[in-house]
Amino acid sequence: MRRGECSFFFYRVTVVRVCSCADFGTWVLWTNTKERLMSLHVVDHPLIAHKMGVLRRKKLPTKDFNDLVAEITALLLYEATRDLPTEACRITCWSGRTTVRRIKGRMLTFVPILRAGMGMLEGAKRLVPGAKISVVGLWRDHETLDPHEYYVKLASDMSDRLAIILDPMLATGGSALATFDLLERSGCRDIRGIFLVAAPEGIARLQAAHPGMKIFVAAVDKRLTGKGDPYPPGYILPGLGDAGDRLFGTK
């Protein structure tokens, strides 16, 4: 393997920037100009690293967990929207007419995956309060870990909008994959995902199904739970536990 490259499952990626994710290993932001590979952005920032460290604490109160999720989501969204096109427009400011920049095209839409994705919506709307809200409801079979759709409500004119999926955990990748497929069927051409924590298994599954997509995460953890682990299957280790329960104070 040549210097500057690393293997991720069965995909070759070119390292653009190495990112340290708290104390849970070193992962990378990658692209590849020869192949249409998924762009994984591990947002390496001291504020995110610190807040993720607090978020992982087992006995963190529900309010604090919600506040931190909102703050981290806003920081990730800042990176996820870095390349939005802008256009010039004329306004009147205190000293007269001047030219400023504004985001070009239709307003983007956030797509929280119920129910845990709703916990990220507050942080996202702080940055883009005018965004349209699309909602996808999925429940996961605890035996097969497969997602099942029970509710969908999308914004109009999806083909003209950037859609940003919100979900705290990218575990098996099943829910994210189902949502990407649904958005593609609606005509959406620019789909991105924001996740707080991702597992290597989920990243590989999305890569196989949707090469070229962009996802933004605060951390890539070690693996998913499975046989022999003292936890339910399909959870991220070390992870956050059940993010939905922690967001809504349920068990």
Give residue 38's pLDDT. Answer: 63
Identify whether 245 is a catalytic site residue.
yes
| Residue closest to 154 by CA, chosen among 117, 178, 188, 106 | 188
> pLDDT tens string for the chain (251 positions)?
333 333 333 333 333 333 434 333 334 344 443 344 568 999 999 999 999 999 999 999 999 999 999 999 999 999 999 999 999 999 999 999 999 999 998 889 999 999 999 999 999 999 999 999 999 998 877 777 678 888 999 999 999 999 999 999 999 999 999 999 999 999 999 999 999 999 999 999 998 998 888 999 999 999 999 888 888 888 999 999 999 999 999 97
CA–CA distance, 72 with 56 (Å, rounded to integer): 13
Give residue 37's pLDDT. Answer: 56
Identify whether 144 is a catalytic site residue.
yes
| Residue closest to 222 by CA, chosen among 236, 232, 208, 234 | 236
Residue 108: partners with Cβ closer than 8 Å, 6 or more residues away = 81, 84, 128, 131, 132, 161, 162, 163, 164
Task: Identify the structural domains of the chain with CATH numbers, from first to last.
Answer: 5-24+39-248 (3.40.50.2020)
Instruction: Tell me which of 26, 98, 144, 250 is the catalytic residue.
Output: 144
Instruction: Tell me which of 67, 160, 190, 242 is the catalytic residue.
Output: 242
What sign has the CA pseudo-torsion 164, 166, 169, 171?
A: negative
Give residue 23's pLDDT. Answer: 37
Instruction: Tell me which of 12, 106, 140, 223 is the catalytic residue.
Output: 140
- At 12-63, the pLDDT tens digits run 333 333 343 433 333 434 444 334 456 899 999 999 999 999 999 999 999 9
Please write down the HEC assignment for all residues of 220-247.
ECCEECCCCCCCCCCCEECCCCCHHHHH
Identify whether 167 is a catalytic site residue.
no
Identify whether 160 is a catalytic site residue.
no
Which residues are 205's β-sheet partners? Answer: none
β 26-31/39-42 pair status: unpaired
